[in-house]
Amino acid sequence: MTGADVPRVTAAGSERDQRRAAATLADGGLRPGDRLLVSAAASPALLAVVLGALRTGIVPVVLDPGLPAAERAALAEDADPALDVGADPAALLGTAEADLADVPLARPMHYTSGTTGRRKGVWSGIRAEDDARALVAEEIELWGFGPADRHLVLSPLHHSAPLRFAIHTLLAGGEVLLPGPFDAARAAAAISALAPTTTFCVPTHLQRLLARSDVDWSSFRRLVHAGAPCPAPLKRVVLEALPSGSVWEFYGSTEAQFTVCSPDDWLARPGSVGRARPGRRLETDGRGQLWCAVPPWARFEYWRAPEKTAAAWRGDRVTVGDLGRVDDDGTVWLDGRREDLVISGGVNVYPAEVEAVLDAHPDVVESAVFGVPDDEWGQRVVAAYVGAADPGDLRSWSRERLAPAKRPKSLHRLADLPRTSTGKVRRLDLPVVVGLDGA
């Protein structure tokens, strides 16, 4: 791959196409608050249509183009769009142009990834002008996006974080690079040829790129990762490979953003996810569930699910069901999700704690811990892992470092862990993958 092979989206070129998309949508009768359904691969046209809609108050509902037909149909029915452009956003780029607001007046509506149950639409409605500007300013200031940035897209744009990073790069006057679906060789070539300054990625991307010897990381001023836990050994290798101060992390979800973790903060407290983003405050309840107080522009509801919305909010505080701890200095540690909790013999077992022990074994690349039904204990702890470790040796390792209730009762070596396209482990699939779905 050469630089000429990679689609490059400039802020000026995209703005023209955004105006064209906005004009076509207006001619089609779409108005602020209407939903536009699009399920297309990453392209300049997709970014233009999403931003052209947002800057006129129309809400793009961005779906995975690889969804099975039945699942797509169910989500389309739920979203109730005024227009479904399908896989062809370029069809909206006519010749007429319409005026745009300076900033997006809404957020895209994404459906939660579904790793722990039925997908839910995350709806933020139309923003007041001050809130719309504050939302954009927060993101641009946090990551320092500017006209000199070249942002490399490594993750699918139908997910919230990669789309958010690309959108705000363009809004800040920068350029977006679209090398296509992730392939380590193609991504390495794009990095070498185009010298990107920023990227968002998940730990799986880092693992595969760092296994190569042909990646020149020197151009990055900011590499941001999230989406899944990053094992401490991998994080240390990333920090050593990239320019000093460039590797950042955040903790967030489709619904909201909670923390940011600088390289110095992580090195001081390995395994943490940093501190609250500006304008936010994190705390835990009696069950260890994390709640975050957020500013007005970060509020959301679950689309047509008032009972789920009510359960997620307490005043200005919101939870997405994650468990964790907050130190006196505000440092946040994650213990997993409430629905991932394994209760064995009345003991709460947090998968993240067990995984940290397994991942520390020199012959384990990564692990995932989950529970399966057990007649005697209610649930028993099971682990799947990637790496060369012998199960017997790993069992001894666990015995020396974990209380009895937390030790995996069976260990299953896999070539890869099942994941969503954002790198999150699909825990619901693991019992089937290891042959314990009948347990």
Angle at 188 between CA 185 and CA 189, to 5 degrees: 85
Q: Which residue has the tokens 């997709």?
A: 46
CA distances to 32, 173, 296, 374 from 168, rounded to whole Å, are 21, 9, 19, 48
Give per-10-residue mean pLDDT for the chain (439 aa). Answer: 83 98 98 98 98 98 89 94 98 98 98 66 96 98 98 94 97 98 96 97 90 96 89 92 98 95 97 95 94 97 96 96 94 83 80 91 95 85 96 95 90 94 84 86
Structure tokens at 391: 């199960």
Q: Are 286 and 306 in contact (CB under 8 A)?
A: no
Residue 230 DSSP label: -
Straight-line distance from the first to the last Cα atom of the chain, in angstroms, rounded to the nearest whole number: 48
Residue 128 DSSP label: P
Helix (H) or strand (E) holding 17: helix 11-27
Measured distance CA(98)–CA(226) in Å, rounded: 36
Report the relative pairing of strands 8-10 and 175-177 from DSSP bridges. antiparallel
Name the nearest CA neighbour of 78 among 90, 68, 63: 63
pLDDT at 405: 84
Phi-psi region of 416 (alpha: psi -120 to 50; beta: other; left: phi over 0): beta
Measured distance CA(146)–CA(113) in Å, rounded: 30
Residue 271 DSSP label: T
Structure tokens at 161: 């974080």
> Following DSSP, what letter does each residue of 292-360 receive, concatenated?
EE--GGG--EETT-HHHHHHHEETTEE--SEEEEE-TT--EEEEEEGGG-EEETTEEE-HHHHHHHHHT
pLDDT at 3: 64
Q: Strand order of the sheet with strand 150-153?
A: 8-10, 175-177, 150-153, 198-201, 222-225, 247-252, 257-261, 275-276
Name the nearest CA neighbour of 41 among 147, 173, 193, 158: 158
Whole-structure pTM value: 0.84
Residue 290, SS3?
strand
Measured distance CA(303)–CA(35) in Å, rounded: 12
Measured distance CA(82)–CA(271) in Å, rounded: 44
pLDDT at 403: 81
Name the nearest CA neighbour of 324 among 405, 278, 372, 259: 259
